Amino acid sequence: MHHVPLSWYLILSAILFALGIAGFIYRKNIITVFMSIELMLNAVNLSFVAFAYQLRQVDGQIYAFFVMVVAAAEAAVGLAIILTVFKNRKTLQIDEIDSMKL
Amino acid sequence: MPVFTGSDMLTLLPAIVMCLFACGTLVLDVMGRRIPRGRRWLMLFGLCGLAITGVSLWRQWSALAAGGLSQYTGAQGAVTLDGLGFFSNALVLGATVLLFLTSYRFLEITREHSGEYYSLALFAQAGMYFMATASELITLFLGLELTSISFYILVGFTRVDRRSNEAALKYLLLGAVSSGFILYGFSLLYGIAGSTELADISSAVSGRGASDPFVVVAVVTIVAGLLFKISAVPFHMWAPDAYDGAPTPVTGHLSVASKVASFAVILRLLPMTLGSVRSLWEPLLIVAAVASMTVGSIAALTQHRLKRLFAYSSIAHAGYILLGIIAGTQMGLRGVYVYLIVYALMNLGAFTVLTALHRHGIAGEDLHDLRGLSTTRPVHAALFVVLLLSLAGMPPTAGFLAKYYIFTALIETRHYALAVIAAAYVVVSLYFYFRLVREMYMRPAETREPLAASLGIRLSLYATAALTLFIGVFPEPVLRLGFRISGVGQ
Amino acid sequence: MPSGYLPIFVFAILAALFPVAALLLARLVRPSAPNAAKLSAYECGIEPTSQSRGRYSVRFFLVAMLFVIFDVETVFLFPWAVRYRQLGWFGIAEAGVFLAFLVVGYVWVIRKRVLDWS
Amino acid sequence: MDTILFFIFAIIAVVCGLNLVLQKHPISSALSLIGVMGSLAVLYLMLGAEFLAAAQVIVYAGAIMVLFVFVIMLLNAGSEKPGGKSWFAQIAGIPLLLAFIAVMGFVIETFLPALRSVRFGSFAGGTAREIGRVLFTEYLLPFEVTSVLILIAILGAVVLARKEID
């Protein structure tokens, strides 16, 4: 085997996506949960770029750019929200943030 | 070199107006600190922007009608003007107008009044414009994110309120994950079709058929993400918390505008684009619809916080609207449109009442805050009863009509089991809406503090309640208009 | 492999090797005589009075956030810059609209005194 | 050569991704995420997306992750406390995820037969010049929408985080 088939890239993307989901489900520090979401978006970007290679188009790469901007905007807003939550509650444990549970 | 033509301009005009006025509000806010009663001007400036947006939407519609076109695609194939888009945008526009009218007093009381609020609402509306009109996945996704991110901020807008922070956090974390799922599905669709244009995707997917596992994965991830956006079970966990913690006018807006726009996305993606693989997504929607009606109606029975109760009620309503998509016929589609109009009216009206309950020193978010409303504010109480009857689907209100369309469509398409289940939950929902009426009419008042009142709140309450009754009694004119805008025929 | 990347590849390997080699070499050559006085802050300013991991002001976050935002913006302007001759006036208008939104944001941030440190 | 590079960086990405999920301290998770992003940048380069690879390093690793690390330091976040997750997540989670990966692997291997094999340098469409050509003609609208998105992010971060200043 001399060259890597593109499908391996797509499988890598699926693995990273699944790891992101796992982090989202299992981690309890809000910041880590949020980083897991970033991992999911990165996985999506890899599959966009892989498809762009397959199709010999630059378009898929441009989609990855847009996803990057969305991730940046989401991170800026999300971290600001995390700051306010921390200020009011002094914790980052997701299961301790439950003042709305009945 | 392709150039930006006049017709491109026309397709984007409402969004451009919204963004310009949103920026204008920001500039006015920081530059006009010294203007006396400047905050009132902020709201009026925003309303002015909404009026111009309305005019530009109407210009688009009449230009399309003058050309005898049913749809027009512009801006390098990114945006399509059609009935669905006009319908959703008109409804969202109305919801934003009511948001502005009801927010003023609320923001004064919570001391959070600033231009950012109106600006973000306008940006969210621009996002919803793209959600409703995008004919290409990337524009659709950016519209979705524009809306979501604006709403994350609006939900957390009352920073000192711990509930508001937490609501924003939960909404953000779950919203971001659902965006990730939708995006993963989009990347697979791009791989299948080699393009993000919905038309290309439609033909590529129908070429591969419903048995292609690639299509299956793409459809499942996209449907899961979209069900989250309309807060259908099993992706509803965020809704009660986000609704409860958000500032009340924002909750109303979130439950109406973002849901209407998300349904527009669902209609465009599922029946219109992925219609050829209906057998894939229909079962998913059936499960989600039944589960939403069940969880929404039953969980609402035990809630004592008003906004949580309405969160569960709106989860149940999402289930009913999904039924119309499941039926899939012309009748079902009309049912979806009628239901969306009526749902918008009655929910906005109900949240106006909840907004008025929020006074100095009284959060007004609990069931017992309604006590004695019939004696302290008989008019408010009576109108609230009308809205509640409509939410429960009782004649002679508009809610009955909406459910009537859905049930007729279900029976036409022989979905008898679904119709029976839906009817059973109408009975359940009667009970939890009745609890509100009981608090208002059968319990003595706990406080004499008058309700928060302003011209805007009164206007929006009277308008929504009156329209709810009017549509229930004389459905013809409004429905005819709705069908004409959305282009589903008579 | 395109030849243009060969120098980069070599450079990357060198960059990875250098710190490893430098640390190893230093360990081999230097004498080792541990002494408690060597660990004190001698002629290095005042003794620290609080933990170095104290919490910072939120202003640092806001500045970092603005950096992210403008960083993203630069990434978009780069492809515009290498093609702006071909894009002509139309391209300038495009970038102008893009920048106009950010200028509004920037003006707003300044007028809101977010960047005031006094 | 291509195969070796792919495996080196794919393994780095997966190990760092696993580490992100397994580490108890957020700062270790953040550093692992930077590792994932860096190795993805190399993979992008091999897929012919050279400008994107640069942007990945500049934006993701260089800016977004800086923000994350900054917030972790700002809040002086400690390690996570262990605690019970719901029984469903405990029991069903990992098998479900493995099943997802297996299904995706099977689907990708079986149903996309006409995939190319990746050769570094065989597709050079991802230069800044080429991106500029397509981005500023075909993706005009999304490009402008992006700037609105950035403006909202500025607004949001300031609105939400500024309370301490007033």
Q: Would you kindly state where each structural domain of chain B is located, as residue ranges?
A: 7-486
| Among B324-328, B380-384, B419-423, D79-83, the least confident range | D79-83
Chains that contact C by 3+ CB pairs under 8 Å? Answer: A, B, D
The owner of tokens 């009216």 is: B345
Query: How big is chain D by its Cα radius of gyration, in Å?
Result: 20
- Could you say which residues from 11 to 50 on chain A have a Cβ atom under 8 Å away from some Cβ of chain D? 11-12, 14-16, 18-23, 25-29, 31-32, 34-36, 38-39, 42, 45-46, 49-50
- Distance in angstroms (rounded) separating the CA atoms of residues B249 and B353: 10
pLDDT value of residue D82: 60
- Is there a contact between B27 and C87 if contact means CB atoms under 8 Å apart? no
Q: How many CA atoms lie within 13 A of B414 on its CB side?
A: 0
Dump pLDDT digits (tens) for B165-180.
889 999 999 999 999 9
**Average pLDDT value for residue range B106-129:** 89
Name C8's Cβ contacts closer than 8 Å, sequence gap at least 6.
Answer: none
- Is there a contact between C111 and B30 if contact means CB atoms under 8 Å apart? yes
**Average pLDDT value for residue range D6-21:** 91
- Is there a contact between D108 and A10 if contact means CB atoms under 8 Å apart? yes
Pull the structure tokens for residue B63: 């230009």
Dump pLDDT digits (tens) for B187-229.
999 988 888 899 999 999 998 888 888 888 899 999 999 999 9
The owner of tokens 């591969």 is: B208
Dump pLDDT digits (tens) for B8-33.
888 889 999 999 999 999 888 888 77
Q: Domain residues for A32?
A: 28-94
pLDDT tier for residue B72 given thresholds of 50, 70 and 90: confident
**Which candidate, D73, D20, D23, D65, places its Cα nearest to that of D41?**
D65
pLDDT tier for residue B184 given thresholds of 50, 70 and 90: very high
- Could you say which residues from 23 to 52 on chain B have a Cβ atom under 8 Å away from some Cβ of chain C? 23, 26-27, 29-31
Residue B133 has pLDDT above 80, yes or no: yes
* Cis amide bond preceding B396, omega within 30: yes
**Which candidate, D41, D39, D40, D19, places its Cα nearest to that of D30?**
D19
Which CATH number is A82's domain given?
A: 1.10.287.3510
> What are the start-end ranges of the E strands in D33-122?
117-118
The b-or-e profile of B235-266 (16+ CB within 10 A means b, else e) is bbebbbbbbbbbbbbbbbbbbbbbbbbbbbbb
- Distance in angstroms (rounded) separating the CA atoms of residues B241 and A101: 8
Q: Does residue C61 share a domain with residue C113?
A: yes
Q: Does residue C61 share a domain with residue C25?
A: no
Interface check A39 vs C, CB under 8 A = no
Return the residue in B4, B8, B12, B23 with the most chain C beta carbons within 10 A, the one to mutate for interface testing.
B23
- Is there a contact between A75 and D64 if contact means CB atoms under 8 Å apart? yes
- Is there a contact between C69 and D64 if contact means CB atoms under 8 Å apart? no
**Average pLDDT value for residue range C31-39:** 75
A26: distance to nearest CA of chain D, Å?
8
Residue A92 has pLDDT above 90, yes or no: no
Domain count for chain A: 1
- Is there a contact between D146 and A22 if contact means CB atoms under 8 Å apart? no
Return the residue in B76, B137, B160, B183 with the most chain A beta carbons within 10 A, the one to mutate for interface testing.
B183
A95: distance to nearest CA of chain C, Å?
23
B230 bridge partner residues? none
A5 bridge partner residues? D117
D118 bridge partner residues? A4
Dump pLDDT digits (tens) for D64-105.
998 898 888 888 766 666 655 555 666 667 787 888 888 887
Pull the structure tokens for residue C39: 């660990």
Backbone angles phi, psi at B359, to 5 degrees: -120, 180
Q: Is the dihedral of CA B118, B123, B124, B129 positive or negative?
A: positive
**Average pLDDT value for residue range C67-80:** 87
**Average pLDDT value for residue range D126-137:** 85
In a domain, C45, yes or no: no
**Which candidate, B281, B351, B364, places its Cα nearest to that of B313?**
B351
Dump pLDDT digits (tens) for B44-56.
899 999 999 999 9
Interface check B130 vs A, CB under 8 A = no
Q: How far apart are the first and last CA of chain D?
A: 58
B81 bridge partner residues? B72
A93: distance to nearest CA of chain D, Å?
7
- Distance in angstroms (rounded) separating the CA atoms of residues A24 and A3: 34
Helix ranges restricted to H, B111-161: 115-133, 137-155
**Average pLDDT value for residue range B416-430:** 91
- Distance in angstroms (rounded) separating the CA atoms of residues B314 and B347: 8
Return the residue in C11, C50, C63, C69 with the most chain D beta carbons within 10 A, the one to mutate for interface testing.
C69
**Average pLDDT value for residue range D11-30:** 90
pLDDT tier for residue A96 given thresholds of 50, 70 and 90: low
* Cis amide bond preceding B234, omega within 30: yes
**Average pLDDT value for residue range C80-100:** 86
Dump pLDDT digits (tens) for C13-32.
899 899 999 999 998 888 87
- Is there a contact between D137 and B1 if contact means CB atoms under 8 Å apart? yes
Residue A2 has pLDDT above 70, yes or no: no
Q: pLDDT exceeding 70 applies to what percent of chain B?
A: 97
B134 bridge partner residues? B79
Dump pLDDT digits (tens) for B244-302.
999 999 999 999 999 999 999 999 999 888 988 899 999 999 999 999 999 999 999 88
Chains that contact B by 3+ CB pairs under 8 Å? Answer: A, C, D
- Distance in angstroms (rounded) separating the CA atoms of residues B257 and B95: 6
Q: Does residue C25 share a domain with residue C64?
A: no
- Distance in angstroms (rounded) separating the CA atoms of residues A64 and B320: 36
| Diameter over CA atoms, chain C | 69
**Average pLDDT value for residue range A68-96:** 84
- Distance in angstroms (rounded) separating the CA atoms of residues D158 and D12: 36
**Average pLDDT value for residue range D131-150:** 89
DSSP assignment letter at B448: -
pLDDT value of residue C56: 63
- Distance in angstroms (rounded) separating the CA atoms of residues D53 and B388: 56
**Which candidate, B108, A76, B333, places its Cα nearest to that of C109?**
A76
**Average pLDDT value for residue range B96-101:** 94
**Which candidate, B433, D144, B322, A22, places its Cα nearest to that of C91?**
D144
**Which candidate, B347, B340, B195, B207, places its Cα nearest to that of B277?**
B207
pLDDT value of residue A71: 93
Nearest CA in chain C to B28: C108
pLDDT value of residue C118: 63
**Which candidate, A27, A32, A40, A98, places its Cα nearest to that of A67?**
A40
The CA–CA distances, whole Å, from B368 to B287, B309, B379, B428 equal 35, 13, 19, 21
**Which candidate, B459, B103, B369, places its Cα nearest to that of B248?**
B103
- pLDDT greater at residue A19 or residue B110: A19
Q: pLDDT exceeding 70 applies to what percent of chain D?
A: 84
Nearest CA in chain A to B172: A78
ipTM of the complex: 0.91
CATH of domain D2-77+119-135: 1.20.120.1200
Q: Domain residues for C73?
A: 57-118
Domain count for chain C: 2
**Average pLDDT value for residue range A97-102:** 56
In a domain, A18, yes or no: no
The owner of tokens 């129908």 is: B206
Domain range annotation of chain D = 2-77+119-135
- Distance in angstroms (rounded) separating the CA atoms of residues B216 and B281: 9
pLDDT tier for residue B490 given thresholds of 50, 70 and 90: very low
Q: pLDDT exceeding 90 applies to what percent of chain D?
A: 30
- Residue positions counted in chain B: 490
Q: Could you tell me which residues of chain D have a Cβ less than 8 Å from any Cβ in chain B?
A: 103-104, 106-107, 110-112, 137-142, 145-146, 148-149, 151-153, 155-156, 159-160, 163
Residue type, D51: F
pLDDT value of residue B226: 94
